[in-house]
Structure 1
Amino acid sequence: MIPLVHDFTDASVLVVGGGAVGARKARRFAREADVVVLSPAFADADFGDAERVQAAPDPED
């Protein structure tokens, strides 16, 4: 569950993590928003229309 009350229509959303939880969040957000998923590896899961970027998060970015 994502306990947020916000209109994400046409918003940009970053999901960090390519596991099952990240995939579930990406699918839900992708219903309304432009989603990018950042992860060093991705599960064999449906990420919806989200763009997947294979890279480790860098605190300097």
Structure 2
Amino acid sequence: MAYDRADWSQHYLDDRGFRPLRDSERDLITRYAPAPDGGRALELGCGTGEARGPTGPMNPGVAG
């Protein structure tokens, strides 16, 4: 099922959650997509912004 903008809006309005990232997924993000030293990173995954978590503590310039 594909979600469009209205579907996502309703999903959040209904307070429906999403599965949290697993440790293995966090490890992959940290290993293969770290924020550059002294740089910034932009998380484009959308949703809850949880994917920025593993890189955010390493670099306060991460925006999600």
Q: TM-score, normalised by structure 1?
A: 0.39
Greater percentage in helix: 2
Q: TM-score, normalised by structure 2?
A: 0.37
Greater percentage in strand: 1
Q: Which structure has the larger Rg over C-alpha atoms?
A: 2
